[in-house]
Amino acid sequence: MIGMSDAHDGGETEPVQAGDATLAGTQSGTRSGTQSGLLPVIFANNAAASDAMNLAIAAWLHAKFQRSRSAKTQSTYSAIVQAFRAQLLSRGLDLDAADPRRVAVAADAMPVDTGDLMAERTKALALAAQAFASQSATSRYGARPVTATTANLRLAALSSFYRYALRHDFLRGENPLERVERQVVQAYASARPLAYDDLRGRLAAIDLTTPAGLRDYALLLLGLHTGRRLSELAGLRREHIVIRASRVELTWVRCKGGKIMRDDLPRKGIQGLAAEALVAWVMRLYGEDGETEPLLPDATVDEMRSRGGGRPPNRRHDADAVATADMAIERVQPAGEIGLLHTGRRQPERPIWISLAARNGTFGHPLSIRAIALINEQRLGTSKVHALRHTFARGLEDAGAKVSEIQARLGHADLGTTGRYLAQLHAGENPHLARLSHLYGLEDRLKSAPRTPPSDETSS
């Protein structure tokens, strides 16, 4: 089994040791240099400091982060490559096993043709990668098979490393991953919008007089009105929000592909329901209107920050962040214009979606993506937060938006992607069923047939 989480488990992967060397950042507490922004260095035990493969991995991860600005992508790719390398090392190979320079050294020690040995090692790397991609993943529930999407993600990460290493002369030869076929994946096969009638009922059932209810309602409405992804919702911070009298301005700084997206949500009328829910929660959370007792005063935020706060000490307590709703909420009066542009203060990394669990010490910490998925499951009946994005896209189409407008709101680079996305959201629908019934000569016999009382005889 692979010693890391399935890439689609929604959690973060831990660093994987490879041999006697471990990849680390340039400063204490940084991982692969993501915090410092500097090129990572290698802290090695019983390994040469000039280990070319360690340096290649470090440089590749740094380049990936500089391009995507996604710590999650960097962490996932690091775990994949390090786990694959660990398996190779256990078999006496390394990532550079097929490099002509290394092959030449090995060929000198045995009576074998250099070309044959290089071809054999390239084949061995390709087969090892193919087997690695399909191996079971470890999760909190034990080993489980991986999906085709996850297998392809592992192959993509390995191929990305080899392309980078070859391009920058860390390696020579060919990319062994080019020999490995990817699994067939149906695009957006799991895309399902939420049913409008069920959605209305579930949202109406949320008790807005409790902190947890107000938080969850604001979170869900924001997802349904912006179509943001789970990681983007989880990464929202107070400094990304400017509250004005007529609208709320949102900046999403952690979007897929390193993009920065923006949403302006009006506050007036029925179109302003999402914005007003968010404002109400921010006022309840930080008391910025001067009238509401804040759930998270500045002193508490400063104390958490001084302790290095931000993440709960144990993820198994995330469910408590969903279940806690035992505090009465005071009446919220939305403010006029509140935000960094108006306060003149900079308060970085003030979370928006926080744990409300007091008994396990996680109160005030940002909710993890797992906790947000639990909220989605509790409130809407599905742990797939992406269903909010599906519903947003389908809702825009039903509201008469053009495909190009939907593309812009979703942040798709290609219009064809949006078209396939929308087509999958309509999968299973057949608008011609009424015409088919007419052609078949059918009529509604259930309404026209006379009802007869049940007899004592039972049909056999």
Model confidence pLDDT, tens digit, residues 141-173 = 778 888 888 999 999 999 999 999 999 999 999
| Mean pLDDT value of segment 302-312 | 58
DSSP 362-409: -TTSBPPHHHHHHHHHHHHS-S-THHHHHHHHHHHHHTT--HHHHHHH
The 10s digit of each residue's pLDDT in 404-440 is: 999 999 888 888 888 888 888 887 888 888 888 888 8
Mean of the per-residue pLDDT values of the chain: 79
How confident is the model over 184-233, as pLDDT tens digits?
877 666 778 999 999 999 999 999 999 999 999 999 999 999 999 999 99
Q: β-strands 241-243, 247-252: how paired?
A: antiparallel
The pLDDT value given to residue 386: 93
- Contact in structure between 395 and 385 (CB atoms under 8 Å): no
Q: Running DSSP on this structure, what letter comes out for residue 239?
A: G
- Asked if 258 and 68 count as a contact pair (C-beta separation under 8 A), the reply is yes
- pLDDT value at residue 306: 66
Query: N- to C-terminal Cα distance for the chain?
Result: 54
Q: Which of 5, 16, 25, 9 lies closest to 65 in space, CA to CA? A: 25
What single-letter DSSP state applies at residue 70? -
Rounded Cα distance, 62 and 42, in Å? 13
Secondary structure (3-state) at 208: coil
- Label residue 52 by pLDDT band (50, 70, 90): confident
SS3 at position 387: helix
**Do residues 375 and 214 touch, judged by C-beta distance below 8 A?**
no
Q: What is the identity of the amino acid at 389? A: R
Strands (E), 247-309: 247-252, 261-266
Overall size of the chain counted in residues? 460
Q: How many CB atoms lie within 10 A of CB 115?
A: 11
Tokens (6 digits) for 89: 């090392």
Q: Which amino acid is at 291?
A: E
Identify any residues that bridge with 338 across adjacent strands, giving them in sequence order: 243
Confidence of residue 305 (pLDDT cuts 50, 70, 90): low
The pLDDT tens digits of the residues spanning 359-376 come to 888 899 999 999 999 999
pLDDT digits (tens, 9 = 90+) for 265-284: 999 999 999 999 999 999 99
CB 209 within 8 A of CB 329: yes
